[in-house]
Amino acid sequence: MSSSRSFSIKSLLARHETVLVLVILFEVILFQVLGRNFLTGRNFSNVFRHSVEIGLLAVAMTPVILTGGIDLSVGSMMGLCAVLFGMMVNSLGMNPWLAGISAVAFGAMGGGVNALLITRLNLPPLIVTLGTFSLFRGLAEAITKGAESYSGFSPSFLALGNSNIAGLPAQIWVFFIVAAGIWFLVHRTTFGRSFRAIGYASEGARYAGIPVARNTSLAYIIAGAVAGLAAVILVARLGEARANAGIGYELLAITAVVLGGVSIFGGSGTVVGTILGWIALAILNNGLTRISDYKIMDQTVASVARELSGLLTGLLLLTALTIGASTKTLAVRHARKQSLAKPTSNPATS
Amino acid sequence: MNKYFRELTVAAALGLLMLGLAILAPHFFQFQPFISRLTSQMPALVAAIGIALIIISRQIDISIGSQFSMCAIIAGVTAASGLPLGVAIFAALGAGAMMGALNGVLVAYLGLPSIVVTLATMVTWQEALRLWQQGRLLNLPKGIQWFGLSQPAGQTIVISLAFILLIGAAWAMKNLAAGRFIYATGTDAEAARLAGIDPKRTTFGVFVLMGILAGLAAVFNLVQSPQVQPNCGDGLELKTIAAAVVGGVAISGGRGTLWGVLLGMLLLANVNPALTHFHQPPYWEKAIQGLVILLAVVADGIRSRKARL
Amino acid sequence: MKALLQLTDIRKSFGAVRALKGVSFELFPGEVHALLGENGAGKSTLIKVITGAHLPDGGTLVVAGEEVSNLSPSKARELGIACIYQQPALFPDLTVAENIGLRLKKTGVLHRVRWASQRTQAVELLHRIGAEISPDSEVRSLSMPEQQLVEIACALGSGARIVIMDEPTASLTQKEQHLLFKVVRDLRASGVGVVYISHRLEEIFALADRVTVLRDGESVGTNAVESLTEAQMIKLMVGREVSSIYPPSEGEPREVVLSLKNLGCAASGVTGVTLDVRAGEIVGMAGLVGAGRTELARILFGITPADSGEIYLNGERISISNPREAIARGIAYVPEDRRRHGVILEMPIAHNMTMAIHPKFFPGSILRFKAESLLARDFIRDLGIKAYGPEAPGGSLSGGNQQKVSVARWLATKPKLLILDEPTQGVDVGAKSEIHKIIRGLAKEGLAVLMISSDLPEVLGMSDRVAVMRVGKLVELISKENADAHTVMAAALGTNGKDAA
């Protein structure tokens, strides 16, 4: 949890974040040795430029998962917001920045629909967001009649997706602002505290007078709004708004969150962990495309990098889950042993 | 309230849809197209039986689309290499059982939430398949199509087998101890344990069964066309979960019947053909599907809220 | 005669809490063996060990002459052990016949269920215990006593040789009680061993052959029932004279803080409650489980808002529609289920203590870690909480210390009215008297205290007045001078006192 004052090597190693940093370092070394042009400024710009949308979704998914919920609809929400954005700019002739803000507002409204169904009707988040997952994507497809796309955006808007500011991709700065905001919310405000309380024991939180429905709603609304923002950034990068924007992104975002050590049962986890989980995934994706000297199934690794990184992502998620579950069991066993060994001692083993 | 209220509501909705079609688009009921359409819905029905059992035991499995694709390709490759059809079917069912067993171990014995486990296995199988097949269509040997019979005969076999399976499963859920283990585990795993049921084994078993049914569904799909695509199972999880939820299987576990699932399946599967027959654009299918899922859970939510007060 | 069941030196801990510290117990065929002990003495844990729901950490368990290790619920059932739990463990969505069928015998997965014969059997079993319940109704629609009768039918049907009854009469009517007694005697006559748990001493005298008393997780003695008097039994349970352990009340109660007029809530079955609670006064709430006491507390705390009657706080008429409003008005509620509602076990105790004062303590919603830690240290010192610091997770503390954390959370709100629901349930004796001192101290400082308790000595010892509830109504208000075990139990049971303790 937050302020632990001891800095022994053992406790540092036990922290999930440390393990992730080591994993990232390992990845960097591996790809530098095996791949070509991996450790270059340009490539690293690319790593983050091409995955910032997933980073945004992952960071915004963190509060939702902390409350013990899940939001499967964020990828579809991106598709819907992208299409709405394209329509506002192209068909209605709206200023792209104004349209961008509207897209974020639509995202927040979509999140509000999830929140309403989950908190007011007490429906399970899984099934509600599975329904909106289908609904939002379906609306996007219906608006574009399954095929149309919007393009021809102004260069000043496209710069958001393709230019650099102070040596870093423009959208990375947006990510920094959003991530810092959500970090503050989760770790420094009573909202973050209540997300955890709700995740650990939502009834217990209610008995302590925490506005459970209101705060849970906030998490879903933020997730929706950030999905809208991610859609705008994606459109700015690709120069095109299509109904299939963000397909499968919810999985990648959830993977990043779980890899980042946020408990899928709710309650524990950090925003920094999520960001590290996302970086580890992003480097994996990019690194594989740099390996052209090695072959797998008669193809160079680079040419099947997408499939390979998808496969590895899935396996990684499974491994992380398994390790998470086994350490939980081990911790329980350990605690029991300790309390048995010293039956009369002060009951202060965690 | 009547125990079968939901089933009756869905049946009424389905009846209305059919009535509307009969009046406005009678060619919907021409025999051969109707049978063909029904046949093409059978693989999803078989998978929906599995998903219903999963949801009744208070779990979820969103990896079944990937399982389905994987089984279809494995069976296809086996058949394409010249082995007899029986071996191909066996390979599909075996592969399904193994994939289901992996989900089952992680969910039942490691206590991980099924949504995340199956999300992970979904991605894993999907990408493994893409890596393996590179998106190629797989051509199937002649003898596979319709089990080497004529199309009408093959269609009859597929439809009858699927319905026999459904009736058998519905009977088993009511009359075999296994059925009650599943209902009991889904209602209250701790109470089930105290009653001497092993909820872990039950959950594991249901996931394995789901895998086998996904394999069988893949076989039913395989025999319908000369080729098989590595993404043939995409979206199957949503389709089946929607059918189960609409058919009155409570997402909170322990409640629901396979008859409801059948009705839900038929209602949802006919939305799109109905749209075409009413001369409406088909792009609304997914949105309608999502809306129907939400309507069904909202109805459940309001109902259980009333029950609580 | 060979013992049906023999437990030797059974030990069991949960985290740091040692629920059983070496319990020995034996049961013979054709015997009703009562298990007696205060709340939290370890009775429930012991039962769960016998039924295989908990694995003991140490000790031996011998069933019918054979040592059993790794007992599981299904294995226990094979060995002929059946249990009727306090909270029936039935499946609400299944019918009565299905529920009974599930328990009758262990079946393979592919075993065919003979619905007709099973239903006949269920009817026969229900008839045997004289229960008028339709086998086809869903368990969801049954009342608690009816569900308990179904549990008994299950145990009978499984042909158990060892039947455990955990406070089976807690919510039964007189008529149902007599039926139950008859069933127990029939069981004994047929050579079954019955472990009978009850708080009601008169039941033990009426039914049991021997009695074993548990105290703080240890067995303090097994005796033939006729060799003991009621007073001796109580002394064995409590371990000391009842009167001496409660802090005396001091000073006169002051102004009325809470005033209820005809308060009710249809959904939770509470009707027409009229009651005043004064500053400086502890009003004890007695009644049977399910009498509506917790429900009343939940109404006052806004969890299930009232739909009739009036609530006055310091003379002002108020309505409370959610816990936040209640907190803002100065009402605090230390809930009954500590582990689910009182303390969030995974979170540090400092976080737990500030949880109810977020808006006041953290202006602008921004956390102040230092101030929080200081506040927690103060409470740890003032309430004597044993923990390694404000960062210790709630779950690492013993039950009594968790309860103090829960109390601290509510004291932090600086309430006018403190509602305590079973404040010492599952708390060891030492912590119990500390909590009693804290409660009395708070009353002395001018808090109005409403204390719900099923622990009769506690209600009698702590209360300035005793309010007794029965089936959702406040049936009697008894002054301290007139309150004794007999009058309170009689009011709670609704008898003229003949059958009450």
Distance (Å, rounded) from C-alpha B196 to C-alpha B189?
A: 11
Quickly tell me which residue has 């204390």 as its tokens: C451
Q: Do B177 and C108 touch (CB under 8 A)?
A: yes
Is B113–A264 a contact, with Cβ atoms under 8 angstroms apart?
yes
From the list A74, A131, A247, A127, the residue with the least C-alpha distance to B287 is A131
CA–CA dist C183, C162 (Å, integer)? 14
Q: How far apart are CA A197 and CA C230, in angstroms?
A: 46
Residue B308 confidence (pLDDT) above 70: no
Q: What integer pLDDT is reported at residue A13 of this predicted model?
A: 54
Chain C 257-276, CB below 8 Å of chain B: which residues?
267
Determine, yes or no, domain membership for A116.
yes
Tell me what pLDDT residue A88 has: 95
Average pLDDT over residues B67-86: 92
Q: Please give the Cα distance from A302 to A292 (Å, whole number).
A: 5
pLDDT tens, position by position, C172-229: 667 777 878 888 888 888 888 999 987 677 788 888 999 998 887 888 889 898 888 8
What residue of A is the nearest CA neighbor of C332? A208
C residues 48..107 contacting A (CB < 8 A): 57
Convert the pLDDT of each residue in B6-57 to its tens digit.
888 889 988 998 888 888 888 888 888 889 889 999 999 999 999 999 999 9
Which A positions 137-166 lie with beta carbon below 8 A of chain B? 137-139, 141-142, 144-146
β-strand A295-296 against C218-224: which pairing, if any?
unpaired
What residues in chain B have their Cβ under 8 A from chain C's Cβ atoms? Answer: 174-181, 183-184, 187-188, 190-198, 205, 254-255, 309
Indicate the residue type of B258. L
Distance CA C407, CA C342 (A): 9
CA B73 to chain centre: 18
Identify how many contiguous H helices and E strands chain B contains and give both numbers.
13, 2
Two structure tokens written together for B106: 């992680």
Residue C3 φ/ψ, nearest 5 degrees: -70, 140
Express each pLDDT in B279-302 by its tens digit.
777 788 888 888 888 888 888 778
Task: Check if the beta carbon of residue A172 is closer than 8 Å to that of residue A164.
Answer: no
Amino acid occupying residue A26: F
Does C414 touch chain A if contact means CB atoms closer than 8 Å?
no
Spatial separation of the C-alpha atoms in residues A82 and B242, rounded to whole Å: 26
Subunits with 3+ C-beta pairs closer than 8 A to C? A, B
Nearest-CB residue to C13 (from A200, A209, A336): A336
Nearest to B184 among C73, C91, C267 (CB): C91
Q: Are A70 and A119 in contact (CB under 8 A)?
A: no
The shortest CB-CB distance from C73 to any of B174, B176, B196 is to: B196
**Residue of B2, B4, B180, B182 best to disrupt the C interface, most CBs of C under 10 A:** B180
Q: C367 touching A, CB under 8 A?
A: yes
Dist. CA C123–CA C143, nearest whole Å: 18
Mutate to test the interface with B, among A134, A298, A304 (most CBs of B within 10 A): A134
C255-329+448-501: CATH superfamily: P-loop containing nucleotide triphosphate hydrolases (3.40.50.300)
Whether A122 and B301 lie within 8 Å, measured CB to CB: yes
Helix (H, G, I), strand (E, B) or coil at C499: coil
The more confidently predicted of residues A13 and B105 is B105
**Looking at CA atoms only, how far is residue B294 from chain A in angstroms?**
5
The whole-angstrom distance between A248's CA and the closest CA on chain B is 9
For C215, the enclosing helix (H) or strand (E) is: strand C210-215
Q: Is B268 on the interface with A (CB under 8 A)?
A: no
3-state secondary structure of A7: coil
| Residue C276, pLDDT score | 93
**Residue C95 DSSP symbol:** B
Selecting from B111, B122, B293 the residue whose C-beta is nearest the C-beta of A130 gives B293
Collapsing DSSP states into helix, strand and coil, what is residue C427?
Answer: coil
pLDDT of C414-450, one tens digit each? 999 999 998 987 776 678 888 999 999 999 999 999 9
Size of chain C, expressed as the number of residues it contains: 501
C-alpha to C-alpha distances, A101 to A61, A174, A178, B83, nearest whole angstrom: 20, 13, 14, 59
Q: Which residues of C touch B187 (CB under 8 A)?
A: 91-94
State whether residue A251 sits within 8 Å of chain B by CB: yes
Question: For residue A245, which phi and psi values (nearest 5 degrees)?
Answer: -60, 130
Q: How far apart are CA A90 and CA A152, in angstroms?
A: 8
Task: Tell me if B180 and C102 make a contact (CB, 8 A cut-off).
Answer: yes
Residue C10, pLDDT > 70, answer yes
pLDDT tens for C310-369 read: 999 999 999 999 999 999 999 999 998 888 899 999 899 999 999 999 999 999 999 999
Average of pLDDT values for C243-255? Answer: 74
Are A313 and B127 inside 8 Å of each other by CB?
yes
Q: Measured between alpha carbons, how far is B62 from B120 in angstroms, rounded to an integer?
A: 9
Q: What DSSP assignment string belongs to B170-234?
A: HHHHHHBHHHHHHHHHHH-HHHHHHTT--HHHHHHHHHHHHHHHHHHHHHHHHTTSSEE-TTTTT
Contact C97, C118 (CB under 8 A): yes
Helices (H), C135-200: 144-157, 174-189
Look at A211 and C324 and tell me if their CB atoms are within 8 Å: yes
CA-based nearest distance C94→chain B, Å = 8
CA–CA separation, A56 vs C241, rounded Å?
66
User: Residue C111 and residue B193: Cβ atoms within 8 Å?
Assistant: no
Please write the tens of the pLDDT for every residue from B80-103: 888 888 999 999 999 999 999 999
Rounded Cα–Cα distance for residues C28 and C9 (Å): 18
How close is the nearest chain C Cα to the Cα of B55, in Å? 15
- Please list the residues that pair with B35 across neighbouring strands: none
Rounded CA-CA distance A272/A59 in Å is 9
Residue B21 pLDDT: 85
Q: Is residue A6 situated within a structural domain?
A: no
Cβ under 8 Å to B: A residues 65-104 = 70
| DSSP label of C113 | P
Decide: B246 and B57 in contact? Cβ < 8 Å: no
Residue A3 lies in a domain: no
3-state secondary structure of A168: strand
Residues of B in contact with A131 (CB under 8 A): 290-291, 293-294, 297
Token pair for C110: 């592919």
**Beta strands in A47-135, from DSSP E residues, in sequence order:** none
Token pair recorded at residue C273 = 């409650």
B191: nearest CB among C89, C98, C111: C89
Distance CA C97, CA C100 (A): 5
* Domains held by chain A: number: 1
Tell me the pairing of strands C193-197 and C162-166: parallel
CA gyration radius, chain C: 24
Q: What is the largest CA-CA distance in chain A?
A: 75
- pLDDT of res. C250: 74
Task: Give the span between the Cα atoms of A157 and A268, in whole angstroms.
Answer: 38
Q: Does B106 touch chain A (CB under 8 A)?
A: yes
pLDDT tens digits for range C367-426: 999 999 999 999 999 998 988 889 989 888 878 889 999 999 999 999 999 999 989 877
Describe the crossing of helices C96-104 and C115-128 by its angle, rounded to 10 degrees. 100
CATH class entry, domain C5-243: alpha beta
B5-14+31-308 under CATH 1.10.3470, yes or no: yes
CA closest to C327 among chain A residues: A209
The residue of chain C nearest to residue B174, with distances taken between CA atoms, is C113
Q: Is A212 in contact with A16 (CB distance < 8 Å)?
A: no
| Contact yes or no for A98/A200 (Cβ under 8 A) | no
CA distance B226 to C308: 71
Is A200 within the bounds of a domain?
yes
Q: Are A127 and B293 an interchain contact pair (Cβ–Cβ within 8 Å)?
A: yes
- How many whole angstroms separate alpha carbon C452 and alpha carbon C439? 12
For tokens 């052959």, what's the residue? C209
Q: Do C346 and A267 touch (CB under 8 A)?
A: yes
d(CA C243, CA A276): 62
Q: Give B125's contacts in chain A (Cβ within 8 Å).
A: 314
CB-closest option in C333, C351, C391 to A193:
C351
Report the b/e string of A233-258 with b at 16+ CB within 10 A: bbbbbbeebbbbbbeebbbbbbbbbb
Q: Which domain holds residue A54?
A: 15-322
Q: What is the pLDDT of residue A214?
A: 96
CA within 13 Å, CB half, A318: 21
Predicted local confidence at residue C497, as pLDDT: 40
B106, B113, B128 member nearest A265 (Cβ): B113
Residue A72 located in a structural domain: yes
β C308-313/C316-318 pair status: antiparallel
Reported as a single tens digit per residue, the pLDDT across B193-218 is 877 788 999 999 999 999 999 999 99
Instruction: Report yes or no: C255 and C279 within 8 Å, Cβ to Cβ.
Output: yes
State both tokens at A164. 């650099």
CA distances from residue B224 to A236, B217, B266, C388 in whole angstroms, order as listed = 43, 11, 19, 68
State how far residue C228 is from chain A, nearest Cα, in angstroms.
Answer: 34
The residue among A77, A307, A308, A327 with the most chain B CBs within 10 A of its CB, best to mutate, is: A307
Q: How far is B136 from chain A (nearest CA, A)?
A: 14
Residue C161 has phi, psi (to 5 degrees) of -95, -20
Report yes or no on A10 lying in a domain: no
**Binary contact (C346, A200; C-beta < 8 A):** yes
Q: A211 or C230, which is more confident?
A: A211
Whole-angstrom distance, CA of residue C262 vs CA of residue C308 = 7
Contact yes or no for A121 and B115 at CB 8 A: no
The number of beta carbons lying within 10 Å of the beta carbon of residue C63 is: 22
Chain B residue numbers touching C83 (CB-CB < 8 A): 194
Please give the DSSP secondary-structure letter assigned to residue A182. Answer: H
Query: Per the domain annotation, does A67 fall within a domain?
Result: yes
| A321: nearest CB among B120, B298, B300 | B120
C429 Cβ neighbours under 8 A, 6+ residues apart: C215, C216, C239
Is A82 within 8 Å of A246 (Cβ atoms)?
A: yes
> B121-125, C92-96, C247-251: which has the highest mean pLDDT?
B121-125
Q: What ranges in C221-322 are assigned the alpha helix state H? A: 230-238, 293-300
Please, what are the averages of pLDDT over each run of 10 residues along chain A (350 residues)? 45 72 91 87 88 97 96 96 96 94 98 96 89 94 87 92 90 96 97 96 93 97 98 96 91 90 89 96 90 79 83 86 70 49 35
Q: Greatest CA separation found in chain B?
A: 63
Of C356, C396, C409, which has the smallest distance from its Cβ to A348's Cβ?
A: C396
Residue A309: closest CA among A47, A33, A130, A70:
A47
Residue B194 to residue C115, Cβ atoms within 8 A: no
The DSSP secondary-structure symbol of C393 reads B
Count Cβ–Cβ pairs < 8 Å, chain B vs chain C.
69
For a pLDDT cut of 70, what percent of chain C falls above it? 92
Residues of chain C with CATH 3.40.50.300: 5-243, 255-329+448-501
pLDDT of amino acid C170:
64
In chain A, which ranges are E strands? 150-151, 164-165, 168-169, 240-241, 295-296, 299-300
Q: What element of type H or E holds C265?
A: strand C256-265
Does C15 score more than 90 pLDDT?
no
Q: Where are the domains of chain B?
A: 5-14+31-308
